[in-house]
C-alpha cells in the first residue's frame, strides 16, 4: 500500500486512544479523515473540533460517497470492533483496502528510525517520557502515544519525521507489525489470556517481537526478564541503573548510572518505583538518537506526566486524590506502593472498576490480593468493553475474594456519596474502562466539599 495514493481514510473505532492519534496524523498530512465510534467522548469531541467528522451509529448510509471510492480510500479498524459491524463488512465486501491500526502504524514508521516500547505495563508512560526527552534534546520526531501526554496535551506529536516513537502493543499480537530500530520491553506478566490462552504463548509473542528489530538495532529489557538484551533496573548488575534514591518534597533525587558514566542528582517528579524505571528505560533509549546525556537528564526533571497515570487531581494538606489507569493486579500493587512511599501513614480509599470479564476471571485471586492492601475498597461493576458477560464472573464475586472488612460494591450513580462517606487521607481511582469519565465529576464534588 502506497500512502501517496490514498486520499480518504475512514476509521472504525476512531475514538480509541491509538486510533485517534492515527486520525490526527492523516489529517495533518492533508488526507480527508472521518470515522465511526460507538460512544461520544472528549477524544471524539476534540477530533470533531479539528474538522474530523465522527458519527456514532453503525449505518452504511452515514458513509459519504467520497469515502465509497474504492481506489483511494483506506479503511482502518481496531480489533475491538465486532465482526458483525455493518460498516466494516461493507468495506470488506466491496474490495476496499482494510487494515488494522497496527498494520498502518507499521507502514508509517517503517522508513523512520523507530523507537518501540513494549511490555504488559508501562508502555504509555515510557513512550510519553521518551517523546518528551527527544523533543527537549532537539530530535525531530513523530510520536503515536497510548495516552494524553501532559507535556504535549495530546496523544500525537509531530516535531519531524526522521524518528518515530510508538507503543508496541501485545494485544492481538499487534506489535508484530512493527520494525523498530530500538525497542524496549518493560514487563512480560500474564495478560490478554483471552487472546493468547497461556502465559507461555504470551511470552513467545514477545520473543517474536524481538525478532522484528532491524539488523544492528538495540533491545533494552527490564533486568530479570527471560530475554537477552541491554538491561535496566534499580538492581546491581543492570547496564543502566538508578542508585542513591531519596525523596525531597515529593520528587525523586537519584544517581543515574550508564555504561559510560554517572549522572548525579537527577530529578524525576512522577511517584512510584515503576515510574522511575519507565524514566530510566526512556533515557536509555533516547541516548540512541545521539542526544547528550546531560540534556536528557535535565529533561527527566521537567516531565509533567500522562493523563490517568498516577495523576494528582487534588493535593490539599489533609486530602489527596489520585487517578490511575491501573487495570492489572501488578499495576494496582505498584500504585499502592507508590502512594505508601509518597504519602506514608495515610489511610487510602481505592475505587476500582474491573476491565473485561476475561481478565477478571483469569486474575481474580491476584486482583483480590492487590486490592486487599488498601484501607477501604469501593468496587464498581465490570466494564465489558468488547466482551460478552461470562456466567458467574461479576464484581460481587470478586468482592467476596477481597480480604478487607471495609469493602463495598457501589454503582456509579452512588459513587460520589460513597466516597464522601470515606474519611481517608488519600483517594485513588483505578481502571481502564469508563471510570475515566467520572473523574471530573468526582474532582468537582470533592473540591466543592472541601
Q: What is the mean pLDDT of residues 122-146?
A: 96
- Indicate the pLDDT class of residue 327, thresholds 50, 70 and 90: very high
Q: According to the annotation, is 355 in a ligand binding site?
A: no
- Indicate the pLDDT class of residue 189, thresholds 50, 70 and 90: confident
Q: Please report, for residues 147, 161, 269, 331, 386, the alpha-carbon distance to residue 19 in angstroms, rounded to integers and kept in the order given.
A: 11, 19, 29, 24, 16
Query: Whats the size of the chain, residue-wise?
Result: 450
Would you state the pLDDT for residue 174? 86
Would you state the pLDDT for residue 64? 95
Q: According to the annotation, is 198 in a ligand binding site?
A: no
Position 169 pLDDT exceeds 60: yes
Q: Choose among 447, 432, 445: nearest CA to 323.
A: 432
Would you state the pLDDT for residue 80? 82
Q: According to the annotation, is 125 in a ligand binding site?
A: yes
Position 263 pLDDT exceeds 70: yes
> In what helix (H) or strand (E) does residue 166 lie, and over which residues does it extend?
strand 163-168
Cβ–Cβ < 8 Å for 314, 343: no
Would you state the pLDDT for residue 385? 86
Would you state the pLDDT for residue 267? 97
> Grid coordinates standing for 346?
495515610
pLDDT digits (tens, 9 = 90+) for 373-430: 999 999 999 999 888 999 999 999 999 999 999 999 999 999 999 999 888 899 999 9
Q: According to the annotation, is 109 in a ligand binding site?
A: no
pTM: 0.91
Angle between helices 101-109 and 17-28 (to 10 degrees): 50
Q: Please report, for residues 16, 193, 349, the alpha-carbon distance to residue 101 in angstroms, rounded to integers and kept in the order given.
A: 10, 21, 37
Computed over every residue of the chain, the mean pLDDT equals 93
d(CA 9, CA 75): 6
Q: Please report, for residues 113, 115, 141, 154, 343, the alpha-carbon distance to residue 157 in angstroms, rounded to integers and kept in the order given.
A: 15, 14, 8, 7, 34
- Indicate the pLDDT class of residue 170, thresholds 50, 70 and 90: confident
The residue ranges of DSSP E strands in 340-432, in sequence order, are: 348-352, 376-379, 407-409, 426-430
Cβ–Cβ < 8 Å for 245, 191: no
Q: According to the annotation, is 124 in a ligand binding site?
A: yes
d(CA 94, CA 89): 8
- Which long-range contacts (C-beta less than 8 Å, at least 24 apart) are formed by 317-321? 318/425, 319/425, 319/426, 319/427, 319/446, 319/450, 320/346, 320/425, 320/426, 320/427, 321/426, 321/427, 321/428, 321/429, 321/442, 321/443, 321/446
d(CA 332, CA 320): 17
Would you state the pLDDT for residue 448? 65
> Grid coordinates standing for 257?
548510572
pLDDT digits (tens, 9 = 90+) for 77-129: 998 888 899 999 999 999 999 999 999 999 999 999 999 999 999 999 999 99
Position 450 pLDDT exceeds 60: no
With 0-12 / 13-18 / 19 or more C-beta atoms within 10 angstroms meaning exposed / middle / buried, residue 425 is: middle
Where are the chain's structural domains? 3-99, 110-300, 311-449
pLDDT digits (tens, 9 = 90+) for 266-310: 999 999 999 999 999 999 999 999 999 999 999 999 999 999 899
Give, rounded to a whole angstrom, the gap between the first and last alpha carbons of the chain: 57
Question: Picking from 112-126, 178-192, 338-352, which range would have the lowest pLDDT averaged per residue?
Answer: 178-192
CA angle (128, 130, 136) in 5-degree steps? 105
Q: Would you identify the CATH topology of the domain 3-99?
A: Rossmann fold (3.40.50)
Would you state the pLDDT for residue 5? 82
Would you state the pLDDT for residue 27? 95
Cβ–Cβ < 8 Å for 336, 370: yes
Would you state the pLDDT for residue 190? 67
> Grid coordinates standing for 286?
533516547
Would you state the pLDDT for residue 128? 97
CATH of the domain spanning 110-300 = 3.40.1190.10
Q: What is the mean pLDDT of residues 435-450?
A: 86
Q: According to the annotation, is 260 in a ligand binding site?
A: no
CATH architecture, domain 311-449? Alpha-Beta Complex (3.90)
pLDDT digits (tens, 9 = 90+) for 216-239: 999 999 999 999 999 999 988 999
Q: Choose among 189, 221, 218: nearest CA to 366.
A: 189
- Indicate the pLDDT class of residue 192, thresholds 50, 70 and 90: low
Q: What is the mean pLDDT of residues 350-373?
A: 97
Would you state the pLDDT for residue 300? 98
Q: Choose among 108, 94, 159, 110: nearest CA to 3.
A: 108
Task: Mark 280-313 as b/e (b = at least 16 C-beta within 10 Å).
Answer: bbbbbbbbbbebebeebbbbbeebebbbbbbbeb
pLDDT digits (tens, 9 = 90+) for 308-320: 899 999 998 889 9
Would you state the pLDDT for residue 199? 79
d(CA 118, CA 27): 27
Would you state the pLDDT for residue 200? 85
Q: What is the mean pLDDT of residues 236-252?
A: 94
- Indicate the pLDDT class of residue 1, thresholds 50, 70 and 90: low
Query: What is the DSSP code (8-state) at residue 420?
Result: H
Q: Please report, for residues 254, 436, 447, the alpha-carbon distance to residue 42 in angstroms, rounded to integers and kept in the order given.
A: 37, 11, 22
Q: According to the annotation, is 343 in a ligand binding site?
A: no
Amino acid at each position: 500500500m502506497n500512502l501517496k495514493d490514498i486520499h480518504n481514510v475512514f476509521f472504525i473505532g476512531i475514538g480509541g486512544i491509538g486510533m485517534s492519534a492515527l486520525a490526527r496524523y492523516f489529517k495533518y498530512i492533508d488526507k480527508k479523515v472521518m470515522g465511526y465510534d460507538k460512544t461520544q467522548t472528549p477524544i471524539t469531541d476534540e477530533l470533531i473540533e479539528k474538522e474530523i467528522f465522527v458519527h456514532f451509529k453503525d449505518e452504511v448510509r452515514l458513509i459519504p460517497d467520497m469515502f465509497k471510492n474504492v481506489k483511494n480510500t483506506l479503511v482502518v479498524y481496531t480489533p475491538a470492533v465486532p465482526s458483525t459491524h455493518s460498516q466494516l463488512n461493507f468495506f470488506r465486501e466491496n474490495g476496499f483496502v482494510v487494515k488494522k491500526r497496527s498494520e498502518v502504524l507499521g507502514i508509517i514508521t517503517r522508513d523512520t528510525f523507530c523507537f518501540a516500547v513494549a511490555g504488559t505495563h508501562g508502555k504509555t508512560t515510557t513512550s510519553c517520557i521518551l517523546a518528551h526527552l527527544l523533543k527537549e534534546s532537539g530530535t525531530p520526531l513523530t510520536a503515536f502515544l497510548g495516552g494524553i501526554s501532559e507535556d504535549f496535551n495530546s496523544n500525537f506529536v509531530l516535531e519531524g519525521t526522521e524518528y518515530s516513537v510508538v507503543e508496541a502493543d501485545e494485544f492481538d499480537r499487534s506489535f508484530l507489525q512493527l520494525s523498530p530500530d530500538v525497542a524496549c520491553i518493560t514487563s512480560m506478566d500474564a495478560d490478554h489470556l483471552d487472546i493468547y490462552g497461556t502465559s507461555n504463548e504470551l511470552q513467545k509473542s514477545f520473543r517474536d517481537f524481538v525478532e522484528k528489530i532491524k539488523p544492528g538495532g538495540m533491545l533494552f529489557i527490564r533486568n530479570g526478564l527471560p530475554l537477552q538484551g541491554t538491561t535496566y533496573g534499580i538492581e546491581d548488575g543492570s547496564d543502566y541503573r538508578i542508585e542513591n534514591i531519596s525523596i525531597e518534597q515529593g520528587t525523586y533525587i537519584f544517581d543515574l548510572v550508564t555504561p559510560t558514566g554517572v549522572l548525579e542528582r537527577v530529578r524525576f517528579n512522577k511517584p512510584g518505583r515503576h515510574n522511575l524505571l519507565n524514566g530510566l528505560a526512556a533515557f536509555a533509549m533516547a541516548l540512541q538518537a545521539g542526544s547528550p546525556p546531560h540534556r536528557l537528564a535535565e529533561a527527566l526533571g521537567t516531565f509533567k506526566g500522562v493523563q490517568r497515570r498516577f495523576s494528582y487531581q487534588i493535593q490539599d494538606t489533609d486530602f489527596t486524590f489520585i487517578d490511575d489507569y491501573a487495570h492489572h493486579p501488578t499495576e494496582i500493587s505498584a500504585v499502592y506502593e507508590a502512594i505508601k512511599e509518597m504519602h506514608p501513614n495515610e489511610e487510602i480509599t481505592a475505587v476500582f472498576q474491573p476491565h473485561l470479564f476475561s481478565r477478571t476471571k483469569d486474575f481474580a485471586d491476584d486482583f483480590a490480593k492487590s486490592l486487599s492492601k488498601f484501607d477501604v475498597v469501593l468496587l464498581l461493576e465490570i466494564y465489558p468493553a468488547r466482551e460478552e458477560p461470562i456466567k458467574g464472573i461479576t464484581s460481587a464475586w470478586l468482592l467476596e475474594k477481597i480480604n478487607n472488612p471495609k469493602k463495598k460494591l457501589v454503582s456509579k450513580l452512588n459513587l460520589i456519596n460513597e466516597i464522601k462517606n470515606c474519611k481517608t487521607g488519600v483517594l485513588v481511582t483505578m481502571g481502564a474502562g469508563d471510570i475515566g469519565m467520572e473523574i471530573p465529576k468526582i474532582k468537582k464534588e470533592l473540591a466543592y466539599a472541601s
